[in-house]
Structure 1
Amino acid sequence: MTTAKHRSVRDPLPVVDTALTGADLAEQWTVTADGPSRYPRVSFTPNVSIALADGTVLKAQVFRPADADGIPVAERLPVLLNLTPYNKSVTHLAAWLLRGLRRFGVTVPDVPPKNPRLFELSELARALPGGGLATFGVNDALIRSGYVQAVIDVRGTGASSGGWGMFNDVEQRDTAEVVAWAQAQPWCDGSVGMYGISYCSINSLQAAGNRVPGLGAVFAVEPVSDISRDLMKTGGAQTFFMPIWMLAVALGKWLPSPSDVVRGGIAPGWLAGRLRAPLNRVIRYIFEGLRGRGTLIDNDEYFRQISPRFEDIEIPTFVYGAWDDIFGPAALRIHRRISMPDGMFQVIINEGYHGSPGSQLGRPDGPPRLDVLQRAWFDKWLKGIDNGIDRYGPVTLQQQNGGWHTLETYPRPEAVPQRFYLDAEPSGFAAHTSLDGSLGAAAPRGRTEHRLRRRPGLLKSPTTSRLMSGMTAVLGTPGLKDSRYFERGALTFTSAAATEPWVVSGPLNLHLRTRANGAEAFWVVSVTDVAPNGFSRMLAEGALLASRRAVDEAKSVRGVDGDYLSPWHPTGKGQKTPVEPGVSTTLDIDLTEVDAMIKTGHRLRVVISAASLPRYIPSIPELWASRQGQSVVLDPDQPSYLVAPVVIGARAGVA
């Protein structure tokens, strides 16, 4: 068991200045990134073979600085690797698109449109001026500054031979061989870094945790902290995203680069690898998910194997995340697990989705663009340039409902865990819900029981927006961020309006007394900030099958007063706890991390429901076992409450 470093309510609470720092450094990095290039052009080699020890051949595209005639320079330079399952031609296309947009001066206006639909779409599009697209694959400006970039199709994808293993041990060994290959090239000075978004950030962190020889630094954008817990089996439930994503990768394997085909560059065994496992892994996953068991979803060793070993990372690592990322604010969970000297590990997290990396960066009064940070990071740790990025942060976050802050650590050490009790007494502020309960400092006076109505879920919900990487922006702000549509069939518990600003900072836990009428129950919980006009913005979410309520104490986090802040629920084979119909049971439901300002006049709300499709999909047997319904039990002798670390007023830097 881990005890969180939160103060007791009896300790003095110092005033902490958390204003964003490093503006002068950020300006310096931006000037450097946007300044004159060291080399005038970029040389592109489209079909490079990397022969692995087992005979598998990976295919790569290599981009090198070139002179005015397009001839690659002879100088040895640091190499940056991007290992992708999405077909290296896609990253090349993204780079081509970025060049075209820059050439014709196409950009996203600094002043967003007033139309709600266009506003949210423009926020997603700000991944372009925020540097997100430049970090996806190929960054011409970075190459011309003196780097080699290589984009490689991982085994079994794109033009590479073999069978795709999705992060498995074979793929991890491949990564180590690719790093060694890069170091051995005549154009490499011996320094190698890895970078990428999503999948490519995860395999970068895997390599760092595996301490791959020769790997010098990592720049990871929107990674996962634990692929089972964050996405594939949150609270024991599957997700609609996985089979769709796996299907997309499986189909993409059949689309090699046209240039590879023309040049005869398809690796030997390419067709055999695809015929051997074209879609069967996807089909297996779907059927195993529907029936709730199988070698893929129950393979605990596989999930342990594919999760990066953050505790073993020793090289400089930069992690960027977003509050509404499909993986949740995983960057902050990673922060809890990495222990390195100051400056060698940096975290930035901001408002945004998986599909809008960097959308909040490069604006006045905020951190620089994502591509600027990427260059500064590699300049420092691969070239030895003292540019001060090791003195930035180490935790830089855009507070939910607030501004930018620089923290020495997360959660805020001055945060005090506090209980917010659930009560059936009406708050008077949620008439649209199945139950308008209250959230306060005292347990309820009497016992009540409240049955949940099961609603299948809504396209217009914040959980769906997270799952769809923000692509539901076409529905406008109400569909993307306002939880009230989702709350209509839920039980809600809303606090009184804040009389002064306060902050919630850290992991959250809902301690909930429940009763299942059958042998299973599925619980979906979110915590929202409610504005005076009723707008309910989701801050955190979580889910749990009642049969997965057991807690692994060794991996869990408790506050100094003993309450769970982050309970860890095992979701592997043979780790279910029977649910006795009609008997009250207490659950501790783990919610995603937050750092949110609750402004004067705003309220905190707990939202409880029995479903949230398509984000969470219990198996058919689990759904059948829960068909008789479930209830929340509000009992003064065994109260239900939200545990949240809070900081009041000026001590949170919000005065």
Structure 2
Amino acid sequence: MARFTVIENEWITLKDGTRLAARIWMPEGAADQPVPAVLEYLPYRKRGGTSLRDESTYPVFAEAGIAGVRVDIRGSGESDGVIDGEYTPRELSDGCEIIAWIAAQPWSNGNVGVMGISWGGFNCLQVAALRPPALKAVISIASTVDRYNDDIHYKNGCHLSAQLSWAATMLGYQSRSPDPAIVGERWKEMWLERLENEPFFLEEWLQHQRRDAFWQHGSIGDNFSDVAVPAMVIAGWADGYRNTPLKAVEGLGGNTKALIGPWVHKYPHFAWPKPRSDFHGEAIAWWNRWLRAENNGVEHLPQVRAYILDGPRPALRREEDPGFWIGKDRWTTPQMQAFGIDGQGRLATGAGEGVGSAYLRSPLDTGVAAGEWFTLKPDAELAGDQRIDDAGSLVFETSPLAEAQTYLGQPVLTLDVSCDAELANLAARLVDVHPDGTATRVSFGVLNLAHRDGNAAPKPLVPGEKTKITIVLDACGYRFKPGHRIRLSISTAYWPMILPGPTDPGLTIDTAGLSLALPLLGKHEPVTVPEPENPDPLPKYLSHLPGETRRSVERDLTDGTTRYRIYEDTGLSEHPDNGLTTQEIRDEVWSITNGDPLSMRGESTWTCIEKREGWSIRTVSTSRLSCTRTEWLTSAEVRAYEGDVEIFRKTFEKKFARDLM
């Protein structure tokens, strides 16, 4: 018999009268013996959205005597109002009010933790920086401390295609109706209010193409000292948010702990590739230490625990990655191993003499093996065999290694370049070449060369003038085996992950000035990170239609156009307790014609379905991005249906000047 109860919906009324919807897992006896509570605060809908993962975790917390409070942010799920953007001052202020509300409840011991993955991982750190008195600790998963460079918008001045993908996702998500079973007759009024007033996020993001005050807001890395509570920061090497744990321990210090596994963008107890982590055990120990002062020693864990990948191979699906766990009691700046280009054109340790200059102008569709920046499944969303992209790249590699080389941290590439134009992008990849030639991407970095001296005030290149640039690649934990080769691949395109500049220039690279520094693992100890006892922790819902995933690349050999298509269908599933049946379909296509960067097009359509007996709604939203030499062109449309009848339609269309992109 469960030792907790579930409150399906509790209204939290804010100072301005707005009601936020909460689902609460309440430990038995909390009314007599108050308990600590953990908040997760998201726009992804506690009903018909994150319920699968919520129901895998919060019952376990409640059984351990910790209340779980899952709240829909303003304008999402069953909460009142309309969303106003990502991590806005209003969202964070509301979060502080929620924490105070929780702490004031008679069942609360006054100590609150906040946790989350992605959006919830972001805002738990950002709320912590505001120092609400009752907040005592956070667990942040797949998050960022730098909203400009380590999120889905821009990366070192390059425009990520994920920016359109995510704007399209949020347009689809926010177009959905609240559940009439919770909000009653108000459901349609609330729905129409959202449809009429929800923003198309891409429009705001394109107004801020530099790292200005908009991106500084919420970037706790700009002032780590604002966060004073213990933080556990978790990420996976297969996800785009892999840099955050090491940055967090460097900046926050103290009782901050980092845990980095092989995972995609999922909670570690059900993530892929395996091995997984016993997240529930880790989290309960963390909350017991900081929310009820249990002397369990979690503060003495190594500051960094990381899974070192041991030569995984690209695959149609990476079920489990080979490797081993290590711990570092204190994270310090790694010692770097330097590589240069020797007289034979090989990548070799030490400073290289080089082989003169090399000219590079990659095909514009170089990058189709990059996978997605933001990964949810260990299939074609992960980077594939890099030989596909290496064909359009400038490549240097070592001789087969006589001994294993193991690294943990962020590689750094320095090189002297001159360009045919004022603007250009550059991508660099660190690759493990297996003895049979198979090539695994270990790390990558991209740079808009106008941002070579920073993201706040970019400046064009002087055509033909040699310029020294530095690219800091993403963090990695990796062992190159004996007999393998370390490859450096450099390209002027990395599409569709990053969008092309307004022209298609070439670069001249002085190989004598090229230096690659790799972060040595250094002093460490082997550690054990327990795996979850339950290998299948997600609850089972009723499936009415199976899901489907398709990804494809099509090259038209007659006109030089490449099309990259993503199709994702969650299938139609019904919650066994509340009867809500949902389905989401994403159909996204990117295209580009080689030799013409202005041919770039992206279109993403989301179809979202919600229904139960006697009630059915559907929304179809389509978002588009294209460009000219001087402008980004955006458009979107949202259509809403009650049953088969269209009841709402809205369009967006705007142009934005390209700001050195």
Q: State if a TM-score over 0.5 links the two structures.
A: yes
Whether contact under 8 Å (2:37, 2:67) holds in the other structure is yes
| 1:55 equivalent in alignment to 2:17 | yes
Contact 1:46 1:260 in 2 (8 A): no
Q: Which residue of 1 aligns with 2:337?
A: 418
Q: Which residue of 2 aligns with 1:558?
A: none
Aligned to 2:473: 591
Q: Is the 8 A contact 1:395 1:410 kept in 2?
A: yes
Residue of structure 2 equivalent to 1:246: 167
Other-structure match for 1:64: 26
Q: Which residue of 1 aligns with 2:362?
A: 453
Do structure 1's residue 393 and structure 2's residue 302 form an aligned pair? yes
Query: What is the deviation of 1:144?
Result: 2.0
> Does the 8 Å contact 1:417/1:643 carry over to 2?
yes
Checking the alignment, whether the CA contact within 8 Å between 1:41 and 1:66 is kept in structure 2 is yes
Write the deviation string for residues 494-545 of structure 1: whole angstroms up to 9, x where unpaired: 1122222232233221111112111211101111222222232222211111
Pair 1:141–1:646, CA change in 2 (3 A): closer
Choose between structure 1 and 2: higher helix proportion: 1
- 1:549 maps to 2:452: yes
CA distance in 2, matches of 1:391, 1:284: 43
- Contact conserved, 2:22 with 2:72, CA < 8 A, in 1? yes
Counting only pairs closer than 5 Å after superposition, residues 433-452 of structure 1 correspond to structure 2 as 438-444=347-353, 446-452=355-361
What displacement does 1:261 show? 4.5
Distance 1:272 1:647, change over 3 A: closer
Once residues 452 and 425 of structure 1 are traced to their aligned partners in structure 2, the CA distance between those partners, rounded to angstroms, is 22
Counterpart of 1:435 in structure 2 is none
**Structure 1 residues 422-471: Cα deviation after superposition (integer angstroms, max 9, x where no partner):** 357355xxxxxxxxxx3443423542222222332444x2x324x24053
When the two chains are superposed, the root-mean-square deviation of aligned CA atoms in Å is 2.9
Partner of 2:257: 346
Q: Please point out which of 629, 634, 637 is paired with 2:506.
A: 629
Query: Is 2:600 aligned against 1:600?
Result: no
1:325 pairs, out of 239, 244, 247, with: 239
Q: Which moved more, 1:529-538 or 1:390-399?
A: 529-538
Question: How big is the shift at 1:493?
Answer: 1.0
Q: Is the 8 A contact 1:464 1:614 kept in 2?
A: no
Cα distance, 1:181 vs. partner?
0.8
Aligned equivalents of 1:258, 1:90: Cα separation in 2: 9
In structure 1, distance between residues paired with 2:252 and 2:494? 32
What is the 5 A alignment of 1:498-537?
Answer: 498-537=401-440
TM-score, length of structure 2 as denominator length? 0.71
Of the three residues 312, 319, 338, the one matched with 2:226 is 312
SS at match of 2:112: strand
Mind listing any 5+ residue stretches in structure 1 that lack a counterpart? 1-38, 99-133, 289-293, 428-437, 551-569
**CA distance in structure 1 between the partners assigned to 2:72 and 2:440 by the alignment:** 39
- Distance (whole Å) between structure 2 residues aligned to residue 222 and residue 76 of structure 1: 31
Deviation at 1:578, TM superposition (A): 2.1
**Match of residue 565 from structure 2:** none
Question: Could you say if the C-alpha distance between residues 144 and 322 of structure 1 is closer, same or farther in structure 2, counting changes exceeding 3 Å?
Answer: same
| 1:488 shift after superposition | 1.5
Contact 1:205 1:310 in 2 (8 A): no
- 1:194 alignment partner, one of 114, 129, 138: 114
Secondary structure class of the residue paired with 1:348: strand
Q: Matched residues in 2 for 1:46 and 1:534: separation?
A: 54
- The whole-number CA distance in structure 2 between the counterparts of 1:472 and 1:155 is 32
2:37 and 2:69 in contact (8 A); partners too? yes
Count of matched residue pairs? 510
Query: Matches of residues 132-143 of structure 1 in structure 2 within 5 Å?
Result: 134=56, 138-143=57-62
Identify the residue that residue 576 of structure 1 maps to in structure 2.
Answer: 458
AA in 2 matched with 1:609: S
Partner deviation per Cα, 1:30-84 (whole Å, 9 max, x = no partner)? xxxxxxxxx83432223322222233332212221348xxxx8554211111101
Change over 3 Å in CA distance of 1:92–1:397 after alignment to 2? closer
1:235–1:548 CA contact under 8 A, matched in 2: yes
* Alignment partner, residue 334 of structure 1: 248
Asked if 1:381 is matched to 2:271, the reply is no
**Distance in 1 (alpha carbons) for counterparts of 2:138 and 2:475:** 23
The aligned counterpart of 2:6 is: 44
Please report how far the alpha carbon of residue 480 of structure 1 lies from its aligned counterpart in structure 2 after TM superposition: 4.0
Instruction: State the shift of 1:387 in Å.
Output: 2.3
* Aligned mate of 2:97, from 161, 173, 177: 177
In structure 2, what is the equivalent of residue 159 of structure 1? 78
TM-score w.r.t. the length of structure 1 is 0.72
Distance 1:581 1:317, change over 3 A: same
Match of 1:203 among 116, 123, 141: 123
Contact preservation (8 Å) 1:156, 1:274: no
What aligned pairs does 1:472-483 form with structure 2 within 5 A after superposition? 473=379, 480-483=383-386
What is the identity, as a one-letter code, of the residue corresponding to 1:519? E
Which residue of structure 2 lines up, in the alignment, with residue 79 of structure 1? 37
1:488 is matched with which residue? 391
Tell me which amino acid in the other structure corresponds to 1:576.
P
SS in structure 2 at match of 1:83: strand
Q: 1:236 aligns with which of 126, 142, 157?
A: 157
- Pair 1:641-2:515 in alignment: yes
Say if 1:445 and 1:346 are closer, same or farther in 2 by CA, change over 3 A.
Answer: closer
Matching residue's letter, 2:469:
L
**CA distance in structure 2 between the partners assigned to 1:359 and 1:260 by the alignment:** 30
Percent sequence identity over aligned pairs: 22
Q: Aligned AA for 2:226? A: D
Where 2:148 maps in the other structure, the secondary structure is helix
Conserved? CA contact 2:26–2:62, under 8 Å: yes
Report the equivalent of 1:612: 494
DSSP 3-state at the match of 1:644: strand
Deviation at 1:587, TM superposition (A): 0.9
Structure 1 residues 58, 424: CA separation in 2 closer, same or farther (over 3 Å shift)? farther
User: In structure 2, what residue type is equivalent to 1:583?
Assistant: E
SS across alignment from 1:404: strand
Q: Name the CA distance, whole Å, in 2 between partners of 1:423 and 1:521.
A: 27
* Cα deviation 1:337-384 (Å, max 9, x = unaligned): 1121xxx22111011211463457998xx8851111111111121122
2:133 match: 213
Q: How far apart, CA to CA, are the structure 1 residues paired with 2:407 and 2:64?
A: 42
> Comparing both structures, which one devotes a greater share of its residues to strand?
2
Code of the aligned partner of 1:337: G
**Paired position in structure 2 for 1:471:** 377
After TM superposition, the structure 1 = structure 2 runs for residues 281-300 of structure 1, keeping only pairs within 5 Å, are: 281-283=201-203, 285=205, 288=206, 294=207, 296-298=208-210, 300=212
Return the offset for 1:273.
Answer: 4.8
C-alpha change, 1:147 and 1:319, in structure 2 (3 Å) is: same
